[in-house]
Copies of this chain bind each other. A is one copy, B any other.
Amino acid sequence: MDRVLIIGAGAAGSVVAQKCAMDRDTFKHITLASRRIESCEKVAKLCKTPIEIAQVDADNVAEVVALIEKVKPDLLINMALPYQDLPIMDACLETGCNYMDTANYEPRDVAKFEYHWQWAYHDRFKEKGITAILGCGFDPGVTNVYCAYAQEHLFDEIEYIDIVDCNAGDHGKTFATNFNPEINLREVTQDGKYWKNGEWIEIPALSINCDIDYPEVGPKDSYLIYHEEEESLVKHIKGLKQIRFWMTFGAEYIKHLQVFKSIGLIGLEPIKHKGMDIIPMEFLKDLLPPPSSLAENYTGKTSIGVIVRGKKDGKSLTKMIYNVSDHAETNKEVSAQAVSYTTGVPPVSGAAMFFRGEWAGKGVFNVEQFPAKPFLEDVAKRGLPWHVIDVKPGDQDELFAVET
């Protein structure tokens, strides 16, 4: 197995293609496809070794089927929009092609961030004898594997997980999102949610925040939001009592969000404008700078990880597992800011795991269901080193004091 088809040539898709093209031992044949062939051409020029490119409308199952039949990939890596997960999975089922993505399926009309649509494909993928690996970006993705690693190697029993996501970068713009604005604004402005003692507890959007101390960055104001990996982790981490997800936002970011919400700019229902139906959120997306335009002059670091509390040999302990990436360094390496980089490198490692047979199974899987260590070693070599530290009494006091 050494043939890969990447669909989606946005900021993160570009990183996937470039990183695959740096490892021709593993990826002998690489095709990058996108709705806009010019995007593929741009990425191909950035690749250190030659790749194939193709035009495809990922919403159109027949087009994706035809492309798979032509390219004959061993694995399709879906870096397109979350709306397109299901048509692409349908095309994989029809052609018997293995599948991987980095973000769960979303219906276009309402933000859900739920896995059930894709999990419903499990039996069909199993019967067809093929594999689907869901959510193999950074978060979801590497953060899930950190949890799996903690379960396998650091704890006998995991009780509490806090996933903590900090982007301390500065792109010099008053407001911009680091990945697809539509997806970013949907996930941030929806009601918050966390899981405790077997139940999902909903909170108003951005209503709980605290300072979290991020490695190599320091304390940053962080908001409790819902994030999709929580849904799979509560299924796969045994004995869990609580899982929460936190993300840093600056004052300007919050101010912009509040205004977007107040005037209905993030609405998904079309409004009438000069006789046309315009979806405010989609119009907003076209107003904002594209995430790929942020790489240049982006400075600062991302610091993303998991803080796990539990027991080992009868003793309570708290560990933090994390990665720090530097916007300027990732831009130098692959012309992408660190948020695109941390999303684009993990699927390359996931694909390598799959090709080597380290990650194997017929059906639909989340990444924490596979062995953690070989993946973490591989993704470290490709540019995302991981660190494990002890969280000592007194550290992260504000986070642990939040009553949820």
Candidates B259, B272, B274, B287; contact of A282 at CB < 8 Å: B274
CA distance A282 to B283 in the complex (A): 12
Size of the A side of the interface (Cβ < 8 Å), in residues, is 24
Q: Does A286 contact B (CB under 8 A)?
A: yes
Q: How far is the CB of A134 from chain B (nearest CB, A)?
A: 30
Cβ contact within 8 Å between A282 and B273: yes
**Secondary structure dominating the interface of A:** helix
Question: In the bound complex, do residue A255 and residue B259 qualify as a contact, i.e. CB atoms below 8 Å apart?
Answer: yes
Contact B263 A287 (CB under 8 A): yes
Q: Which residues of B contact A284 (CB under 8 A)?
A: 263
Copies in the complex: 2
Q: Are the CB atoms of A287 and B276 closer together than 8 Å? A: no
Residues 256-288 of A, flagged 1 when their CB comes within 8 A of B and 0 if not, give 101110111100000111101010101110111
* CA of A262 to CA of B263, assembled, Å: 15
Least CB separation from A272: chain B residue: B286
Residue of B nearest to A286 (CB): B273
Q: Does A174 sit at the interface, judged by CB under 8 A?
A: yes
* Distance, CA A284 to CA B260, complexed state (A): 11
Complex Cα distance, B273 from A175, in Å, reads: 19
A286 touches which of B175, B271, B282 (Cβ 8 Å): B271
**Is A283 touching B273 in the complex (CB atoms < 8 A)?**
yes
Contact with B along A161-186 (1 / 0, CB 8 A): 00000000000001100000000000
